[in-house]
Amino acid sequence: MQRPGRASGRRTHRCVSPRLIGANAPVSLGDTSEAGRAPSSARAALAVIALVLTTAATAQPRDDLLSLYAQAQGSDPQYQLAAAQQRLLAGRADAARAPLLPQWSLQAQQQRVAGAALRSSGSTITQTLVDVAALYGWRAAETEASAGDVRRAAAEQALRARVARAYFGLLSAQSQLATAETTEAAYAEQVRQNQVRVDNRLAAPLDVQQARAYLGLAQTATLAAREQLADAVQAMQELTGQPPLPLKPLRADLHPALPQPNDAAAWVAEARDHHPLVRAAAQDVQAASQRQRAARAGHLPTLGLAATTQRAPIGGVPGAAAQTQTVVGVQLTVPLFSGGATLAQQQQAAAQHDANQAQHDTALRAAVREAEAQFQAAQGSVAQVAATQAAAEAAEQALTATRAGLAHGTRGMTDLLIAIQTQAQAQNAHALARHRHVLALVLLRQAAGRLGVDDLAAVNAMLDAD
């Protein structure tokens, strides 16, 4: 199936992680030999090629948060299940109301008596006047249908949160792979340069072996990052039903912000009052109370109105003239013994009420805990972004100084390898901290029961534009 806005001739390819500009830039080790210096014309040609490739990559269609959410709405099984359950409960409410509405039926009968045909027909209309059990059963079904509506709203919010989690999880996996590949390339280049120096008897073979050891570890990290990226792609495909296009990354000029209001108690109170799962659980308790009343009313009399019209031959004699008789009456039914079913239904309703109350308490406590945890995560992520940014800048400066020290003989090969590793780790930590910050704000809104499409649109505005 062709996706809207995409080329029909899309080919299958390996998922290659785009590198964030400034976040995972390749580490340049430089080449101290004259042979390693490219002429100015060659450097100019490379710059033109890089510009063309960058322009072509920018022109490719990319997915963002809202486009993937739109895809997930139509294909996510969990959301479709919640929608189907909501329709199921609405149908049960309509069925529970039916016994309280008028009932009309027609009858026709044909017999042969002594070789002659005997035909009769009739019509029966009934209307329940008093049936307390059916009335409370209908009210309980209506309350359960209302709880189903709220649970569907909760499923919508959960879908938005899962799409956001998968989106930034995929961005983080791409960032980790980009960092791993950059680090591996840097170590491979260092191995090559050290081998040249050893061949020219300018360095000891130990430097090559040490660089190869770091290279082997970097290759292992790259393989693990590729596995994580493949799993992140599958996590997104699980929601949308199809592989995602390249994603739009966060803008480089994004500044973290504290949640508003910056008060944990306010977010907890919001979760208590508005979280859809808490509200649905409260309605389940109300419905269970109504079913208890319906079960207790099972021993009460019922009163109904009936109107019956019968047309048949006079005296039931075949061939006689037909006559029409209409009977209107009130029917009173008093249950005396039902084999213990009424008592069993009362016990069942009481147990269901206790179970629903326990589920409500569980949902309330979980909502409070989640709101508190996500508020702390949103607050802490601001400090994490600032700390990792400072660490990335310091690591970049340390790597530059270490390279210069190696050229002047004041630093050793181990210092350079450690500086490369530290810079890669710091850059990756900063990218992950940025993703965690934005995701924490989304999950905090969900914990409060307030995650709407406009919140996803606000996050979408934080992404790089095409």
Q: CB atoms < 10 A from the CB of 110, how many? A: 9
The pLDDT mean for the chain works out to 85
pLDDT at 59: 54
Q: What is the pLDDT of residues 70-92, one digit of tens each?
A: 999 999 999 999 999 999 999 99
3-class SS of residue 122: strand
Tokens 């130990």, located at residue = 206
| CA neighbor of 439 nearest in space, from 170, 225, 227 | 170
The whole-number average pLDDT for the span 419-433 is 91
Joined tokens for residue 448: 């409060």
Q: Are 129 and 305 in contact (CB under 8 A)?
A: yes
Residue 49 clears pLDDT 60, i.e. is over it: no
Is residue 465 very low, low, confident or very high in pLDDT (cuts 50, 70, 90)?
confident
Residue 234 neighbours by CB under 8 Å, 6+ apart: none
Q: What is the pLDDT of residues 184-240, one digit of tens each?
A: 988 898 888 888 888 888 777 887 888 889 899 999 999 999 999 999 999 999 999
Backbone angles phi, psi at 328, to 5 degrees: -120, 130
Q: Are 294 and 133 in contact (CB under 8 A)?
A: yes
3-class SS of residue 99: helix
* Residue 90 region by backbone torsions, left for phi larger than 0, else alpha for psi between -120 and 50, else beta: alpha
pLDDT at 5: 40
- Could you give the CA distance from residue 127 to residue 307 in angstroms, rounded to a whole number? 9
The whole-number average pLDDT for the span 236-253 is 93
- Could you give the CA distance from residue 311 to residue 16 in angstroms, rounded to a whole number? 82
Q: What is the pLDDT of residues 25-48, one digit of tens each?
A: 333 333 333 333 334 444 444 444
Q: Are 64 and 460 in contact (CB under 8 A)?
A: yes
pLDDT at 408: 83
Q: CB atoms < 10 A from the CB of 64, how many? A: 19
DSSP 80: H
Torsion on CA atoms 256, 58, 55, 19, rounded to nearest 10: 60
- Could you give the CA distance from residue 146 to residue 90 in angstroms, rounded to a whole number? 8
Helix orientation angle between 341-408 and 413-447, rounded to the nearest 10 degrees: 150
| CA neighbor of 306 nearest in space, from 65, 453, 109, 122 | 122
| CA neighbor of 396 nearest in space, from 424, 433, 418 | 424
Is residue 16 very low, low, confident or very high in pLDDT (cuts 50, 70, 90)?
very low
Residue 8 clears pLDDT 60, i.e. is over it: no
Is residue 241 very low, low, confident or very high in pLDDT (cuts 50, 70, 90)?
very high
Q: What is the pLDDT of residues 262-320, one digit of tens each?
A: 999 999 999 999 999 999 999 999 999 999 999 999 999 999 999 999 988 776 667 67
Most confident of 101-115, 116-130, 351-365, 397-411: 351-365
- Could you give the CA distance from residue 106 to residue 121 in angstroms, rounded to a whole number? 8
Joined tokens for residue 127: 């209307």
Residue 164 clears pLDDT 90, i.e. is over it: yes
The strand pair at 302-313 and 322-333 is best described as antiparallel
Torsion on CA atoms 358, 364, 370, 373, rounded to nearest 10: -110
Joined tokens for residue 110: 């044909």
- Could you give the CA distance from residue 435 to residue 441 in angstroms, rounded to a whole number? 10
Higher pLDDT: 217 or 11? It is 217
Higher pLDDT: 3 or 411? It is 411
| CA neighbor of 456 nearest in space, from 100, 107, 142, 64 | 64
Scanning 244-340, the segments in alpha helix (DSSP H) are 264-274, 276-296
Q: What is the CATH number of domain 67-101+130-299+342-460?
A: 1.20.1600.10
405-426: buried (b, 16+ CB within 10 Å) or exposed (e) per residue? ebeeeebebebbbebbbbbbbb
Is residue 145 very low, low, confident or very high in pLDDT (cuts 50, 70, 90)?
very high
Q: What is the pLDDT of residues 331-386, one digit of tens each?
A: 999 999 888 999 999 999 999 999 999 999 999 999 999 999 999 999 999 999 99
| CA 17 vs CA 32, 192, 239, 248, 329: distances in Å | 31, 25, 20, 12, 80
Rounded to a whole number of angstroms, the distance between the first and last alpha carbons of the chain is 24
- Least trusted range by pLDDT, from 20-24, 332-336, 366-370, 455-459: 20-24
253-280: buried (b, 16+ CB within 10 Å) or exposed (e) per residue? eeebeebeeeebeebbebbeeebbbbbb
Joined tokens for residue 62: 């990319």
3-class SS of residue 308: strand
pLDDT at 316: 66
Scanning 11-76, the segments in alpha helix (DSSP H) are 40-59, 65-75
pTM for this structure?
0.78
With pLDDT > 90 as the criterion, what percentage of the chain qualifies? 65
